[in-house]
């Protein structure tokens, strides 16, 4: 099966995003396995796994390595994405599986490296002796240097598209497709429809802030429910000033704008500050001057 795969370099290149997706799937699987394992100890005394957590994790990752990289030359994330490891140190361009030495060193670098980092942190975190402080300093320096090398390797990977991790580059293993990939048939009708909707949505996002919704609402309400036949005299204002033309309640501190309608002071003031071209919602008159109502509206007269 593996020998039937030929010339992966020219025929089956692996995209960078596919390799990164495989790494993320591997991390998600490890978190899932660890959460399922720790759920088995919920009924035990709290902290029962705290002293042996690095060893337990290393044992679980060892089991995963045995049934993935050792037996199938691919991690779980790679198997999902139809990817597997190829021995890049071989002289032939055809597919060559990983050697046993590469698999063992892969185990040491991945599982053993993480176990050593976690265990050393637990051992030296509470030590105050000078000798242990020096050892801890050297370990921290080595860990920082490895992370720096990993960052440089990632930048090279973004440029060339091979060896997503430092371990892969050191061991000479790279990701290739298990089987040739078919040419993707993309429906341009769907893409055109998506582009059209995205363009229309961006146009609405740009246009909606320019529309004065409050003024448009008041204009429509003035068309639907006009009140004709009112004079401009202040006596008529006193006779018909039973409610604010904006809120519909009893006018508090009644004011006029030059037309035959009455408004609460705070209603008309807030709307006028919001829109300097504010018009009366009843008759459409513009605000000429904001004046308080001179005649006192008596409650007995309005209910009469």
The reply to whether 153 and 271 lie within a common domain is: no
Q: What is the DSSP string of the chain?
A: --TT---HHHH-PPPHHHHHHHHHHHHHHHHHHHHHHHGGGTTS-TTTTTTTHHHHHHHHHHHHHHHTHHHHSS-HHHHHTTEEEEETTSSSSS--PPPHHHHHHHHIIIIIHHHHHHHHHHHHSS---HHHHHHHHHHHHHHHHHHHHHHHHHHHHHHH---SSHHHHHHTEEEEESSPPPPP---HHHHHHHHHHHHHHHHHHHHGGGS-HHHHHHHHHHHHS---S--SSHHHHHHH-SS-TTT-SPPSS-EE-SSS--B-HHHHHHHHHH-TT-B-TTT--B----EE-SSPPPHHHHH-
pLDDT attached to residue 238:
44
pLDDT attached to residue 154:
92
The reply to whether 161 and 21 lie within a common domain is: yes
pTM: 0.54
Instruction: Name the domain boundary from 165, 181, 197.
Output: 181
The reply to whether 28 and 165 lie within a common domain is: yes
The reply to whether 281 and 169 lie within a common domain is: no
The reply to whether 171 and 258 lie within a common domain is: no
pLDDT attached to residue 294:
65
pLDDT attached to residue 103:
92
Residue 274 covered by a domain: yes
The reply to whether 21 and 128 lie within a common domain is: yes
pLDDT attached to residue 153:
92
Supply the CATH number for residue 278's domain. 3.30.40.10
Residue 158 covered by a domain: yes
pLDDT along the chain (304 residues), means of 10: 41 80 91 89 78 88 91 89 86 80 92 84 60 72 88 92 90 83 63 84 82 69 53 47 76 80 83 76 75 58 45
The reply to whether 175 and 246 lie within a common domain is: no
Q: Residue 115 belongs to what domain range?
A: 16-181
The tally of domains found in the chain comes to: 2
The reply to whether 31 and 149 lie within a common domain is: yes
pLDDT attached to residue 5:
42
Instruction: Name the domain boundary from 181, 205, 225.
Output: 181
Residue 31 covered by a domain: yes
């Amino acid at each position: 099966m593996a020998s039937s795969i030929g010339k992966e370099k020219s025929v089956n290149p692996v995209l960078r995003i596919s390799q990164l997706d495989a790494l993320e799937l591997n991390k998600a699987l490890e978190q899932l396995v660890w959460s399922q394992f720790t759920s088995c100890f919920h009924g035990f005394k709290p902290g029962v796994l705290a002293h042996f957590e690095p060893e337990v994790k290393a044992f679980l990752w060892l089991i995963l390595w045995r049934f993935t990289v050792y037996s199938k030359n691919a991690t779980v994330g790679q198997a999902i994405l139809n990817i597997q490891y190829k021995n890049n140190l071989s002289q032939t361009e055809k597919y060559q599986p990983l050697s046993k030495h590469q698999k063992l060193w892969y185990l040491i670098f991945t599982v053993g490296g993480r176990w050593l980092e976690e265990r050393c942190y637990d051992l030296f975190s509470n030590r105050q002796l000078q000798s242990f402080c020096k050892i801890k300093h050297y370990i921290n320096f080595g860990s920082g240097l490895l992370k720096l090398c990993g960052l440089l390797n990632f930048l090279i990977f973004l440029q060339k598209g091979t060896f997503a991790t430092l371990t892969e580059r050191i061991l000479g293993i790279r990701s290739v497709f298990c089987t040739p990939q078919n040419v993707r048939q993309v429906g341009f009708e769907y893409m055109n429809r998506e582009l059209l909707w995205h363009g229309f949505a961006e146009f609405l996002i740009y246009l909606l802030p320019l529309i004065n919704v409050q003024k448009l609402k008041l204009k429509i309400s003035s068309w639907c429910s006009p009140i004709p036949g009112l004079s401009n005299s202040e006596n008529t204002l006193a006779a018909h000033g039973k409610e604010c033309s904006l809120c519909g309640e009893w006018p508090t501190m009644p004011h006029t704008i030059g037309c035959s309608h009455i408004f609460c002071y705070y209603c008309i003031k807030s709307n006028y500050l919001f829109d300097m071209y504010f018009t009366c919602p009843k008759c459409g008159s513009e605000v000429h001057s904001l004046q308080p109502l001179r005649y006192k509206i008596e409650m007995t007269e309005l209910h009469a």
